[in-house]
Structure 1
Amino acid sequence: MIEFNKKSNTLEQTQYKYSLQDVSEPNLYREIFNYDEVPKCAFNHRRVPMNPPDEIWITDTTFRDGQQSRAPYTVEQIVKLYDYLHRLGGPKGIIRQTEFFLYSDKDKEAVYKCMERGYQFPEVTSWIRASKSDFQLAKEMGMKETGFLVSCSDYHIFNKLKKTRKQAMEDYLSVIKEALDVGIKPRCHFEDITRADFYGFVVPFAIELKKLMDESGVPIKLRACDTMGYGVTYPGVALPRSVPGIIYGLRHHAGFPSELLEWHGHNDFYKAVDNSSAAWLYGCSSVNCSLLGIGERTGNTPLEAMVFEYCSLRGTSDGMDTTIITEIAEYYEKELDYEIPPRTPFVGKHFNVTQAGIHADGMLKDEEIYNIFNTTKLLNRPIGVAITQTSGLAGIALWINNNFRLTGADMIDKKDPRVAKVKEWIDKEYQNGRITSISDKEMLKGIQEIEPSLIPNKK
């Protein structure tokens, strides 16, 4: 039998409508996920079309998933970070939402303080347990939307919940109806989707949610949670690990529009950013992130990374103030005592710092040669150089120009004899057995003693 699909404007075979497969034994995909081996990446060579939505955006889980792997933030710290998210997201609200727990007095106070800010974006949402009392709590606190777990892999359904697929689906649907009854928009967190039986459980369950949504007139969001970071984006890769396949299936077979789909990734296999970008490209409007990627185990998709992915894919920042990213990084290190690995892209102290003399020589002539973009303009982070035994005259000259903010005719050339005198001092340091780089404070002190005329106000 065939039917006309108004979304694709094509005739389609109805055998691709999926119903629940209530199996007696769990499907754990043991050929792929043998616990004693690295997970395998299988291909079926089926490809789905890219279909980027009209709008894409970012949501934040810094105060939910991000707080599960570090010391809890104080209320004041949460409000400060919320302010940063608002400023970073810009007037168009590219950072659309952020989510909170609602259980402790501190959680509630933080929610109220952030809501008092009156920002349209990011909208304050919640994450609660799937119970009537929690839904009522969300309602009383003014939440328009809340998320809750609907674990979808047999690892969770059979081995954790000790239920059948049918029992799990019925329980989930009853909880969602309770949320609708109290006027809360549900956001269903499809936990462990990259190990789930996609056409045997995920799509049939999503179809039932679509029916509820159509009956109630209340939008229901689906958050596809790559809980273990197993998602991959390679062309022709097979489910359950295929990010393009998951997004395509939720849109095409379950009938959910892009604006109600969200991707939540983890970085266990270094794929969080790539997977989130693919989710956008294949039809998911929203990607869920945390500041600096802080989250369970290896963390979530770094929010700052997706800010730049957005700019790259859309060709515009759409009003986002990317310099706020540097303020956020400094706040984490200075106020939250959080040590950012120095070579972390965009936020690490050395992400745009060179040590090689040959690179420094090129940057003296044109910083674009070895800098990823204008980091001074976009991140308020001028290029840097770490002084070592390999920095050479060019590296020393570059350090002087950067640290003293010398431009144009004031810039120091590597052939300046004063630079050579500084290099003699540095060479002696390493001849005497030094193995570490020379810090900025040491450089400043050394120049003050050896060639103070290199310092602008000392001339």
Structure 2
Amino acid sequence: IRPRLHLEDATRAPMDFLHPFIQNVQEISDPYGPELRPKFRICDTMGLGLPFEDVALPRSIPRIFQEMRKLGLQASDLEFHPHNDTWLVVANCLAAVRAGCSVINGTSLGKGERTGNAPLEAILLHLIGMGYYREKQPQFPALNELVDLYAEMHEPVPPKYPLYGRDAHRTRAGVHADGLNKFWWMYAPFNVPALLNRPLEVSLTKDSGLAGLIFLVRQHTGRDLPKDDAHLQRAYAWLLHEFDHGRQTSVEWEEIAPILDLA
């Protein structure tokens, strides 16, 4: 069994303690050969690490891993176990990979103790953008089933959660909806439907204008209506009336479709 050493709270540990500890472990393990060489898990237990080389140790994530490599540890010997207490978990993971760490410990969809462990879907997305996984990419649509399962378990993914939240790819602004109508790549970070199997969406509000309505019609019926279409104008007049009289909630397709009456 290959041992793994869990360096708890490493981003608050003095390096003059970590160095001799790791070296002693290496000396003890040398007689057992490379197959039983220990792995070292660097833990940012309270999320205090920073993804920059120009900050002091032990808070600098890249410098910690650079120090580990100087001690003779290979990338395959190193893991990173981060937390998101101060919002930097994704950046810290990417910095760790760039500094020579081969394994990231994480979860899916922001789960984990306190504020969560590293969201692996976010790490993988950025690693693809950095040139990793050229031959075979992760299957991101598989997490859509997990989103549904969490909802059934009364632990839903927050609406604003990146990539998989209900509102992650939804706009309520007319200028954005108009951009989606004319050139949808303008208001998408990447090919969301292809990579995630999730749609780009528009919710109708007082700010979404005719462009939002046109987008919804195209999305749900495949029809491109001109702005002066009678059905469109009637539905838009109804929308304006709703919001002029105090409505605060957005209007979804199921509510506006009967008013459009496009059958």
Fold similarity call, TM over 0.5: yes
In 2 relative to 1, CA 229–357 (structure 1 residues): closer, same or farther, beyond 3 Å?
Answer: same
When structure 1 is superposed on structure 2, of 220-229 and 313-322 the one drifting more is 313-322
Amino acid at match of 1:258: A
User: Do the aligned partners of 2:144 and 2:164 also contact (CA within 8 Å) in 1?
Assistant: yes
In 2 relative to 1, CA 344–274 (structure 1 residues): closer, same or farther, beyond 3 Å?
Answer: same
In 2 relative to 1, CA 235–219 (structure 1 residues): closer, same or farther, beyond 3 Å?
Answer: closer
In 2 relative to 1, CA 413–348 (structure 1 residues): closer, same or farther, beyond 3 Å?
Answer: farther
1:204 maps onto 2:20 in alignment: yes
State the distance in 2 between where 1:293 and 1:447 align: 35
State the distance in 1 between where 2:28 and 2:183 align: 59
Match of 1:94 in 2: none
Unaligned 5+ runs, structure 2:
none
State the distance in 2 between where 1:329 and 1:385 align: 20
Match of 2:163 in 1: 346
In 2 relative to 1, CA 191–317 (structure 1 residues): closer, same or farther, beyond 3 Å?
Answer: farther
State the distance in 2 between where 1:382 and 1:413 align: 23
State the distance in 2 between where 1:412 and 1:317 align: 42
Match of 1:394 in 2: 211
State the distance in 2 between where 1:416 and 1:262 align: 59
State the distance in 2 between where 1:276 and 1:301 align: 8
State the distance in 2 between where 1:256 and 1:219 align: 10
Picking from 30, 36, 40, the partner of 1:214 is 30
Amino acid at match of 2:204: I
SS of match in other structure, 1:236:
coil
Match of 1:420 in 2: 233
1:451 maps onto 2:238 in alignment: no
State the distance in 2 between where 1:243 and 1:285 align: 14
Computing the radius of gyration from Cα coordinates, the structure with the larger value is 1
TM-score w.r.t. the length of structure 2 is: 0.94
SS of match in other structure, 2:236:
helix
1:378 maps onto 2:198 in alignment: no
1:244 maps onto 2:244 in alignment: no
Match of 2:242 in 1: 429
State the distance in 1 between where 2:147 and 2:39 align: 31
Q: State the shift of 1:364 in Å.
A: 0.2
Encode CA deviations 1:171-230: one digit per residue, 9 max, x unaligned: xxxxxxxxxxxxx221111110000011x1111111122223321121311110000000
In 2 relative to 1, CA 317–379 (structure 1 residues): closer, same or farther, beyond 3 Å?
Answer: farther
User: Do the aligned partners of 2:53 and 2:61 also contact (CA within 8 Å) in 1?
Assistant: no
Match of 2:44 in 1: 226
Match of 1:55 in 2: none
State the distance in 1 between where 2:257 and 2:22 align: 66
Unaligned 5+ runs, structure 1:
1-183
User: Do the aligned partners of 1:293 and 1:299 also contact (CA within 8 Å) in 2?
Assistant: yes
State the distance in 1 between where 2:69 and 2:169 align: 40
In 2 relative to 1, CA 427–192 (structure 1 residues): closer, same or farther, beyond 3 Å?
Answer: same
User: Do the aligned partners of 1:311 and 1:317 also contact (CA within 8 Å) in 2?
Assistant: no
Amino acid at match of 1:451: L
Amino acid at match of 1:331: L
Match of 2:94 in 1: 277
Structure with greater contact order relative to length (CA < 8 Å, sep ≥ 6): 1
Amino acid at match of 1:221: K
State the distance in 2 between where 1:451 and 1:185 align: 65
Total equivalences in the alignment: 260
Encode CA deviations 1:80-130: one digit per residue, 9 max, x unaligned: xxxxxxxxxxxxxxxxxxxxxxxxxxxxxxxxxxxxxxxxxxxxxxxxxxx
Q: Which runs of 4+ in 1 moved over 6 A?
A: none
Q: How is 1:131-280 mapped onto 2 (pairs within 5 angstroms)?
A: 184-198=1-15, 200-217=16-33, 218-252=36-70, 254-280=71-97
Q: State the shift of 1:319 in Å.
A: 3.3
Match of 1:363 in 2: 180
User: Do the aligned partners of 2:231 and 2:261 also contact (CA within 8 Å) in 1?
Assistant: no
State the distance in 1 between where 2:135 and 2:246 align: 48
State the distance in 2 between where 1:388 and 1:244 align: 45
Encode CA deviations 1:363-415: one digit per residue, 9 max, x unaligned: 1001101111111110111100111110000011112222x162xxx333444
Match of 1:62 in 2: none
SS of match in other structure, 1:293:
coil
Q: State the shift of 1:317 in Å.
A: 6.6
State the distance in 2 between where 1:412 and 1:203 align: 68
Q: State the shift of 1:417 in Å.
A: 2.9
State the distance in 2 between where 1:424 and 1:195 align: 60
User: Do the aligned partners of 2:178 and 2:211 also contact (CA within 8 Å) in 1?
Assistant: yes
Amino acid at match of 1:201: F
Q: How is 1:29-68 mapped onto 2 (pairs within 5 angstroms)?
A: none
State the distance in 1 between where 2:204 and 2:77 align: 50
Encode CA deviations 1:285-329: one digit per residue, 9 max, x unaligned: 111111112111111111111120221122537232122122222
State the distance in 2 between where 1:343 and 1:400 align: 24
SS of match in other structure, 1:224:
strand
Match of 2:146 in 1: 328
User: Do the aligned partners of 1:342 and 1:350 also contact (CA within 8 Å) in 2?
Assistant: yes
Amino acid at match of 1:327: E
Q: State the shift of 1:425 in Å.
A: 1.0
